[in-house]
Amino acid sequence: MIPSTYPDRATVARLTARMLLDIKAVHFNAAEPFTFASGLKAPTYIDCRKLISFPRIRSALMDFLTCRVMEDAGFEAFDNIAGGETAGIPFAALVAERMALPMTYVRKKPKGYGRNARIEGAMSEGQRVLLVEDLTTDGGSKLSFVDAIRDTGADCAHTAVIFYYGIFPETEPRLTEHGVTLHYLCTWWDVLAEARRGEDFDTATLDAVEAFLRAPRDWGATQ
């Protein structure tokens, strides 16, 4: 069922941040930093996959995401909802259910046997596809999924995520250059503000997180 109520964007961002904090999907640790796949060290880590185990929070966020996309892109803008392997698959299914649309998913790479396909499910030429994922950092993985969708002859000009890092200035221009608009619910800045408001972490940890968010590529060199 398509949601019929939708808070303002600032409230959505704050509530999303609070939900992520409440289920302990947010991890802050300046003493033992996390390492990104790129090798970048950070005092922050987020695990949006945890959301699938919390039905009330999961439902609220999928309502928010569905409304955000329809508000920004249009109520009849899509024919197919695609999830990126693997974290995007459950969220794509939940959004597709709300929008009463077919759902597919995109593999990270061809499976290497059978049809050797990257698209699973029914996707056809000319369909307007929304790519749904759990989060985006610099947008790189989204471009591979978008290209796989476009290779079928379908169109993919929008991607929707629950969480957007919001700290790498090249991310949105990179997606825009590829013809993709990003829709999201909250960023690290929203989480940091809510964590300060709720005193979820000690002040020293939150100050270290803020220092990282302001200069993510330089932070590791100071540790």
* pLDDT tens, residue by residue, 110-137: 876 656 689 999 999 999 999 999 999 9
The pLDDT value recorded for residue 110 is: 82
**Taking 90 as the threshold, does the pLDDT of residue 74 lie above it?**
yes
Residue 182 β-bridge partners:
159
Question: Per the annotation, does 108 bind a ligand?
Answer: yes
Cα 203-209-212 angle, rounded to 5 deg:
145
Is the Cβ–Cβ distance between 123 and 80 less than 8 Å? yes
- Tens of pLDDT, residues 161-200: 999 999 999 999 999 999 999 999 999 999 999 999 999 9
**Taking 70 as the threshold, does the pLDDT of residue 21 lie above it?**
yes
The pLDDT value recorded for residue 124 is: 95
The pLDDT value recorded for residue 223 is: 60
**CA–CA dist 52, 78 (Å, integer):** 24
Question: Per the annotation, does 107 bind a ligand?
Answer: yes
Question: Per the annotation, does 4 bind a ligand?
Answer: no
CA 40 to chain centre: 19
One-letter amino acid at 30 equals A
| pTM of the full structure | 0.94
**CA–CA dist 82, 103 (Å, integer):** 6
Domains in the chain, start-ordered, CATH in brackets? 9-222 (3.40.50.2020)
Question: Per the annotation, does 137 bind a ligand?
Answer: yes
Token pair recorded at residue 48: 């949006």
